Copies of this chain bind each other. A is one copy, B any other.
Amino acid sequence: MVPQAPNRPPRLRRSRADIRERLLDSALVEFGAKGFDGASTRAIARRADAHQPQINYHFASKEALWFAAVDHLFELFGRAMDGIVYPEPDDLPAVADALAEVIRRFVRFTAAHPELHRIMMHEATEASERLTWVIARHVRPFYGALMGVWGRLRAAGIAAPIDDAMIHHVLTGAVSFPFVSAPAVRLLTGTEPTDPAWIERHADGVVATFLPGL
């Protein structure tokens, strides 16, 4: 019974203050690529250059890590919408301009952070506590804001003829699917959805299509 095996590799200690943030970023990529069940905590830790048990140390569980990572990402999304000026509801052309700006920022954010809607897509295919939580906490505010103006924009002939109850998901699908499916876009079209010109063309197209009366 030797107290220390002779050829055990030396214990490397990699102390870093930002390990929590690195784990959050890594979790977003892995959850976005594989979904909650498909992603493994080992892969998340490896990508963050950490050890698997550190996830249970810095977060309570795999699920707690998921909630923290999604909170973090929606915080970034909210920040991307900062500074939008919401005009008087009766000034419909100004409302349309503001919505166009929201759509453009939505496109750019989704291009920069495809993980958000990748995770939403993975989750939205099946009812779950995680889905209920993310919708109540993060999605409903944006849905409510769009509901408040879409009907009036349609009546004024500015917005495309899509039902109020459907516009949120139709618009979200049109905006985010090319970035969520970026690997498929590359295979199918040979174009690069992270190219800035690609992103702006996509934003122009979506705005012109969904707000044709602008």
Contacts and interface: CB of A to CB of B under 8 A. Distances in A.
Nearest to A143: B188
Contacts of A165: 189, 191
Given A132-B187, A169-B181, A169-B185, A160 B209 contact: yes
A37 to B, nearest CB: 3
A104 to B, nearest CB: 15
A169 B178 contact: yes
Interface stretch (A66-74, A84-92, A93-101, A117-125): A117-125
A212 B211 CA distance: 12
Contacts of A176: 173, 177
Q: How many copies of this chain are found per oligomer?
A: 2
A166 B38 contact: no
A51 interface: no
**Interface SS of A by simple majority:** helix
Interface in A42-71: none
Contacts of A38: 34-38
Contacts of A161: 204-205, 208-209
Given A125-B181, A126-B34, A183-B131, A163 B201 contact: yes
Contacts of A186: 127
Instruction: Give the size category of A's interface with B.
Output: 35 or more
A159 to B, nearest CB: 10
A139 interface: yes
A190 B171 CA distance: 18
Residue from A132, A140, A169, A212 with most neighbouring chain B CB atoms (10 Å): A169
A149 interface: no
A33 B208 contact: no
A113 interface: no
Contacts of A212: 160, 212
Interface of A: 32-38, 114, 118, 120-127, 131-132, 135, 139-140, 143, 160-163, 165-166, 168-178, 180-189, 191, 198, 201-202, 204-206, 208-210, 212
